[in-house]
Amino acid sequence: MLPEIALTQQFLDRFHSRFGSKPAEWHSDLSPKARERVWRQVAEGTVKIVAGARSALFLPFHDLGLIVVDEEHDPAYKQEDRVFYNARDMAVVRGHIGGFPVVLASATPSIESQVNADQGRYKRIKLYSRYADAALPTLKTIDMRRSPPPPGRFLSPALSEEIGKTIARKEQALLFLNRRGYAPLTLCRVCGHRFQCPSCSSWLVEHRFRGQLMCHQCGYHEPVPEACPECGTLDHLVACGPGVERIAEETEALFPDARIIVLSSDMSGGVKRLRLELEAIEKGDADIVIGTQLVAKGHNFPNMTLVGVVDADLGLANGDPRAAERTFQLLNQVTGRAGRTGKKSLGLLQTYQPEHPVMQAIIGGDAEAFYTREIEDRERNALPPFGRLGALIISGENRIEAENHARALRRAAPFSSEISVMGPAEAPLGLVRGRYRFRLLVHGTKRADIQSYIKAILSNGPKTKGSLRVQVDIDPQSFL
Closer by beta carbon to Zn ion, 217 or else 341: 217
Closer by beta carbon to Zn ion, 338 or else 431: 431
Closer by beta carbon to Zn ion, 24 or else 228: 228
Number of residues that bind Zn ion (CB under 5 A): 13
Nearest-angstrom CA–CA distance, 7 and 297: 8
Rounded least distance, CB 230 to Zn ion, Å: 5
Looking at 30, 76, 218, 271, which residue binds Zn ion (CB under 5 A)? 218
Rounded least distance, CB 422 to Zn ion, Å: 27
Looking at 231, 238, 240, 425, which residue binds Zn ion (CB under 5 A)? 231
Closer by beta carbon to Zn ion, 185 or else 323: 185
Nearest-angstrom CA–CA distance, 144 and 121: 43
State the alpha helices, DSSP H only, in 257-353.
Answer: 270-283, 323-335
Q: Which span (75-83, 145-153, 222-230, 450-458) binds Zn ion, by CB under 5 A? A: 222-230
Rounded least distance, CB 214 to Zn ion, Å: 9
Q: Which span (29-37, 102-110, 217-225, 372-380) binds Zn ion, by CB under 5 A? A: 217-225
CB contact at 8 A, 295 and 306: no
CB contact at 8 A, 439 and 459: no
Rounded least distance, CB 181 to Zn ion, Å: 14
Rounded least distance, CB 135 to Zn ion, Å: 44
DSSP 462: P
The CB-side HSE value for 465 (13 A sphere, CA atoms) comes to 4
CB contact at 8 A, 309 and 349: yes
Rounded least distance, CB 278 to Zn ion, Å: 30
Per CB under 5 A, does 93 bind Zn ion? Answer: no
Looking at 217, 341, 445, 464, which residue binds Zn ion (CB under 5 A)? 217
Closer by beta carbon to Zn ion, 9 or else 217: 217
Closer by beta carbon to Zn ion, 103 or else 190: 190
Phi and psi for 408 in degrees, rounded to 5? Answer: -65, -40
Nearest-angstrom CA–CA distance, 473 and 220: 26
Q: How far is CA 194 from CA 152, 187, 188, 211, 230, in A?
A: 19, 4, 7, 17, 9
Per CB under 5 A, does 227 bind Zn ion? Answer: no
Rounded least distance, CB 58 to Zn ion, Å: 30
Question: Are β-strands 172-176 and 260-263 bridged in parallel, bridged antiparallel, or unpaired?
Answer: unpaired
Rounded least distance, CB 430 to Zn ion, Å: 12
- Cβ-in-10-Å burial (0-12, 13-18, 19+) of 256 comes to exposed
Per CB under 5 A, does 261 bind Zn ion? Answer: no
Per CB under 5 A, does 234 bind Zn ion? Answer: no
Residue burial 187-204, b: 16+ Cβ < 10 Å; e: rest = bbeeeebebbbeebbbbb
Looking at 98, 220, 441, 472, which residue binds Zn ion (CB under 5 A)? 220
Per CB under 5 A, does 240 bind Zn ion? Answer: no
Per CB under 5 A, does 135 bind Zn ion? Answer: no
Rounded least distance, CB 227 to Zn ion, Å: 8
For the chain, give the number of residues: 480
Phi and psi for 10 in degrees, rounded to 5? Answer: -60, -40
Using CB under 5 A as the binding rule, the residues of this chain from 177 to 216 that contact Zn ion are: 188, 190-191, 193, 197, 200, 215
Contact residues for Zn ion (CB under 5 A)? Answer: 188, 190-191, 193, 197, 200, 215, 217-218, 220, 228, 230-231
